[in-house]
Amino acid sequence: MEDKKKNSLWEKIAREENVPLETLQERIKKWTVVIPFNKKRKISHPCAIGEGMRVKVNVNLGSSWEADGIKEELQKLSVAIKYGADTVMDLSTGRRLKEIRKAILENSPVPVGTVPIYEVAVKVLQEKGNLSALTPRDILNTIEEQAKEGVDFFTIHCGLNKKTLEVFSRQKRLMDIVSRGGAILLNWMLTKNKENPMYEYFDEILNIAKDYNITLSLGDSLRPGSVLDATDPAQIEELIILGELTQRAHQKGVAVIIEGPGHMTLDQIEANVLAEKKLCQGAPFYVLGPLVTDIALGYDHIAGAIGAAYAAYYGADFLCYVTPAEHLGLPTVEDVKEGTIAFKIAAHAGDLARGKEKAYLRDKQISQARKKRKWDEQFKLSFDPEKARAYYFRNKPKAEDVCSMCSKLCSIKLVDKCLEFLIK
Ligand code: SF4
């Protein structure tokens, strides 16, 4: 990115994040803050992810073999943006994958990420009917093609190699491997008896990322898919490999973020964040959830948001949302809304606990409005004003200054009157 453009971007972000420009520059230089931004793209709402920044939320979009509508994916994009997604990822695996990616790239005001191995897998299945027919060249070509189209960040499943596989094979996991990219590469490694191409050709991938100013999100193929598998030697071994690859990326001038679990109990979250920061030189941590229990089917956005709030508090920088449809099916537009809001709440809770001034101000303002029963102001400051308004008007009492919860026994109103009397 040319210097003039870069400087004005950094100034804008420093203002939005309420941090001195020098602090932002210093953190970008030491790779603890990244700004995903392909040099081919125009992004009206770029964002910084990492040390001292507001916690960011990613929303996954994308089709599957079962549902392949461009219109619906664009509706999901617009809902995600409306409710505050900081980035989106197109995880399409259907027949119209290319068209959907193009539409998302054209319409997204925020950075767009993809998982290139998905396109490679779809293509090879369509053309050769066999996943193991993919070649390292297919992977590099797809990455290059998506880079040219303007994708801002890529998930690269480079931490699964022969060494991590050996550790994994000694585990007795309940859920083995749940990462889609991880499963595709595991299949290839075992059928070909070869090293993972994303690990073996990591330098070539770095060259492409460097050419287009793309951020690499180092994927965790061995992330636990059950709370009972969390923080096992396979997961940690992969994190060690990701730490080594982080160093190589930084030496080449490529920004990375590190992907993390997955599923884990609340008590393990702090240690996982600490381990990532230590092993990966403070690179931003991008967590999927984590889901703090495996039994919340239909409510996994809540199980995930609980874990995400804890992770954010302990230092995770980037939260990948989970929808109520997780583990059950492709999310609908409504599921995307529910998931986005749940994770915006988690990110905000993390910001509050980390002492972010802007987050405090919003809570202060809503409390002031609540004290005065100023309903419109409260709606405006909430995550979902339409829902808040609908609840209020569902059973609105005659008096304007109370709601139907306590009505004539409104404690705020009663205490106001008492205090007026005391002051007189
Ligand atoms: S009626 Fe109850 S819930 Fe409603 S504003 Fe008053 S104290 Fe709050």
CA of 380 to the centre of ligand 1 (A): 18
Testing ligand 1's pocket by substitution, the residue of 374, 391, 400, 405 carrying the most ligand atoms inside 8 A of its CB is: 405
Q: What is the mean pLDDT of residues 164-180?
A: 95
215 exposed, middle or buried (CB, 10 Å; 0-12, 13-18, 19+)?
buried
Q: What is the mean pLDDT of residues 150-155?
A: 98
CA of 407 to the centre of ligand 1 (A): 7
Whether the CB-CB separation of 6 and 29 falls below 8 Å is answered with: no
Testing ligand 1's pocket by substitution, the residue of 367, 404, 412 carrying the most ligand atoms inside 8 A of its CB is: 412
Q: Which residues pair with 260 in a beta bridge?
A: 287
Q: pLDDT tier at 110 (50, 70, 90 boundaries)? A: very high
For residue 158 the two structure tokens come to 């480079």
Nearest CA to ligand 1 atom 4: 403
Nearest CA to ligand 1 atom 6: 410
Q: pLDDT tier at 327 (50, 70, 90 boundaries)? A: very high
Whether the CB-CB separation of 338 and 323 falls below 8 Å is answered with: yes
Testing ligand 1's pocket by substitution, the residue of 377, 398, 406 carrying the most ligand atoms inside 8 A of its CB is: 406
Choose the weakest-confidence range: 1-5, 120-124, 328-332.
1-5
Look at residue 305 in the predicted model and tell me its pLDDT: 98
On the CB side of 119, CA atoms within 13 Å amount to 24
pLDDT higher than 90, residue 421: no
Could you give the dihedral angle defined by the CA atoms of residues 104, 110, 116 and 120, in that order, rounded to the nearest 10 degrees?
Answer: 0
- List, for residues 187-212, the tens digit of each pLDDT value: 999 999 999 999 999 999 999 999 99
Ligand 1 atom closest to the Cα of residue 373 is 5
CA of 373 to the centre of ligand 1 (A): 8
> pLDDT averaged over the chain?
96
CA of 409 to the centre of ligand 1 (A): 8
Look at residue 252 in the predicted model and tell me its pLDDT: 98
Return phi, psi of residue 112, to 5°.
-115, 130
Q: Which residues line ligand 1 (CB under 6 A)?
A: 373, 402-403, 405-407, 410-412
Look at residue 424 in the predicted model and tell me its pLDDT: 72
- List, for residues 47-103, the tens digit of each pLDDT value: 999 999 999 999 999 989 888 889 999 999 999 999 999 999 999 999 899 999 999
Which helix (DSSP H) or strand (DSSP E) does residue 260 occupy?
strand 256-260
CA of 413 to the centre of ligand 1 (A): 8
Testing ligand 1's pocket by substitution, the residue of 404, 411, 413, 415 carrying the most ligand atoms inside 8 A of its CB is: 411
pLDDT higher than 90, residue 1: no
Taking the domains of the chain in order of start, what are their residue ranges? 1-30, 34-355, 359-423
CATH 3.30.200.20 describes domain 34-355: no
Look at residue 67 in the predicted model and tell me its pLDDT: 82
pLDDT higher than 80, residue 26: yes
Ligand 1 atom closest to the Cα of residue 409 is 1
CA of 402 to the centre of ligand 1 (A): 6
Strand 49-50, strand 33-34: pairing: antiparallel
pLDDT higher than 80, residue 281: yes
CA of 382 to the centre of ligand 1 (A): 17
* Helix, strand, or coil (residue 358): helix
Q: What is the mean pLDDT of residues 350-377?
A: 97
CA of 195 to the centre of ligand 1 (A): 62
- List, for residues 230-274, the tens digit of each pLDDT value: 999 999 999 999 999 999 999 999 999 999 999 999 999 999 999
CA of 370 to the centre of ligand 1 (A): 9
Looking up tokens 């005659």, which residue turns up?
398
pLDDT higher than 80, residue 2: no
CA of 406 to the centre of ligand 1 (A): 5
Testing ligand 1's pocket by substitution, the residue of 393, 398, 410, 414 carrying the most ligand atoms inside 8 A of its CB is: 410
Nearest CA to ligand 1 atom 3: 405
Could you give the dihedral angle defined by the CA atoms of residues 53, 75, 179 and 310, in that order, rounded to the nearest 10 degrees?
Answer: 40
